[in-house]
Structure 1
Amino acid sequence: MSSAAPPSGEDELTDPWVALEPGADPTERERALRHAHERFTAAGTVARPVRGVVADSWRRSARARVSPDSVSATMELTDGDLGTYRAEHPLARVMPLFRELTGSFAQDGEHLLAVCDAQGRLLWVEGHPATRKRAGRMNFVPGARWAESAMGTNAPGTAVTVDRPVQVFATEHFTRQVQQWTCAAAPVHDPRTGRLLGAIDITGGEGLAHPHSLAFVQAVARAAESQLALLAPVAPRQGTVEVTALGRDEALLLMGGRKTRLSRRHSEILVLLAGHPEGLSGDELLCALYEDESVTPVTLRAEVARLRRILGPDVLASRPYRLTVPVESDVATVERRLGAGAVSAAAAAYTGPLLRGSQAPAVVRLRRKIADELRASLIACGDPDLLADWVNSPWGEEDLEVWRALASVRPTSPVLARVAELEAELTAPAVWQRPGTRATGGFGHAPVPRSGRSAVAPRTGAG
């Protein structure tokens, strides 16, 4: 969550997330902001009266190499891909509520209701026909990518970036093509897990530049979260397991409506068993988890016994070790979407390397497999925005192969310079490394442990 504060010398607002304080002159503020925007795009300095949240967003937009002269957003979800993704998205369940609460407001005020996912891709855009037609000229339409990293400062994209309700007024938008609009958006979360699902946005003209519009959209978001809580099963099926392990050191387990953060070893066991519904023998699981051959089967049995106390005696069976209930995981989601050719949807579900700090041999291989398959799909797809997202992520910032792919479709000076820098580092003499330390593998993945033992080699006595 952003802790943006107003730049030094900026007029303090009662609420820094509101674009105009009561009594402010919209015309004068728009003019002053336009001058500040021109100064920023020319010299990179922020002047009054730019709010802190907007200044921070402008800087992020510049770092993401968004052009202030972009004329339209990129279409990322189209036709059947869009329909399938929307139907599966949790916010589809509250679209009737969104329409009920905002329909007359949008229609009467000639505004638009827009709903985006957590990656800033528009899923629904509805409202006044003439306004929709105008917005369509800049691809403010379902399936278009309005993430801050793609289109710069805008209410839905910025709201999911900072995970806060935010209002963006006219010339506060980073892209000049969007500066005729004003919008207010609020994030929506899964009421059970707190996970960001996306945002609801109201977009229109200058009339939205009022504190009430931000309060309104925030109230709608809260109503949606309450509705999602009511729509959740009152009595979840006993033993239902959901596992979140991407981009984390320790997996998050959701079971029976209760969240539990697992230890690293329990995270590894659960991820491996989730990927092997047929089960793993004690020997197979021991070899998959431990590089050290001195680890005994007794150690594994103790770990499994502790995990069984968390999951329940009927959920984790033995001989072979297996889960007796269906398991949903973010790993499986990425693999399923890649298998279906939905590259953008797979990239959206990939929140980072699998169990980042794990050195368990089978986890390391799975971590690399997922990342390599996604990287290969991104490169083959050639979408510059998806490639840019990867190289601007912590795990992809030194990924030369993806940087080269980005340079081939978006050969801007900063991209070419970064490719040259990484190529120079690749050919530079090796740097001495202190004995006992281990380097991190490419794009944030730990190296495969060096061991003469196969991860599935049989060992006896493991139960």
Structure 2
Amino acid sequence: MSSPWSQRREVSPETSRLLIERAHEELVAGNAADARLRDVRLLVRDSWRRSLDSLVGAEALPPLDLTAEELEGYRRAHPLAAVIDMVRGLLLPGEASESGVVVAVGDAAGRLLWVEGDRNVRRLTGDVGFVEGANWSEDAVGTAAPGTAITLDRSVQITGAEHFNRLVQPWSCSAAPVHDPETRRILGVIDVTGGHEAVTPQAQLLVDATARAIEGELLVARLRARAEPPRPARRAPARRAEPTRATLRVLGRDRAQLEVTGEGFETVSELGPRHAELLLMLAVHRQGLSAERLGDLVYGESAGDAASVTLRAEMVRLRKALTTAAPALVPESRPYRLGVEVETDAHQVLSLLDRGAHRVALAAYRGDVLPDSVAPGVEEFRDTVRVALREALMAEASVDVLLAFAETDAAADDIELLRLCLSMLPARSPRRAGLVTRIERLEADR
């Protein structure tokens, strides 16, 4: 079946791209009375002003609201999970990897739960944070079809320069909200993103029709469920105040920060260098570690029997510290392990790379893992994260992201990276001269 997005009828814009860009620049600069703004569509102009009121940055990356683990559980329970195959069938028939667009399904808060479609478009849009788990509400990224459709509770199309976020302006998108078929409250949003083919009249009709079809399917499923005999109710066990999320922040810091949140509580604790190493190793090796193996990872194999004695003492102190700060995270023994899963900010970077959100991953990379630590296990994990970041960016990231990576301490002396950036830049780019100078200096120092 041919792709419905293959008919590339360009939308005739009400004003030129250049005029819209200049109007946007004037508004962001504080010139809300500039005459050019009157020529921008009222829908877009109002959305820009809401974006300013929400203090959205003109080049802000969307926040990643859901980690990979949270995303999996959340979308499994979401009402739209039951109709995701219908979305694929209506908007991505045939060879979805070559459709020219990506299709996203988000929740009522604007968080993207599914992003599928053209492989190359997914890679490029992922570079600006259009990935599963990211928040694309107006409050987070400004004017864009998913968030604006939710805000206005109607289908919208946003073309190129009409996006508030400059990073998103190469793209165009159509989106429509999906409602609960009975209460009419918004359940989520359907979005199609790509080039001009994503904002044709046909695109808006398809997105609108898909949203209505989903609502009809949800109603049929609900009526069918009501016709079935009721199941006997079970009393739920009493709930304890358990943590819902624990994050260990180790990037660019030696005194790690432990953040624990749950229903009605939130704690933030700072850990000393040794406790940070121990907790990181337990977070990385989630299956658990023997005392001997944990000692090797923290003290080194050459430490011998002394490591076992020191480890036991340090684990006693770590347990005491966690009993006060986060009781649910007190490590268990034989093997040493954590009863609650602890995510690290380093793992979040790796997850972003897996989703193709290269620019967001680079922004989240605050530096090396526990940079002053000489614990063998920490050094190994530090290298794993750094290499994964470098390889993913060099394989798939845009030249702008690579140039930003080249300015970090992790890549400052990376001649191969600098040469790749040089090869990707246009022949007349003013950035080439600086790269050539850096490469020549590094080669001379060898």
TM-score (norm 1): 0.47
TM-score (norm 2): 0.49
Compare the two structures and name the one with the higher helix fraction: 2
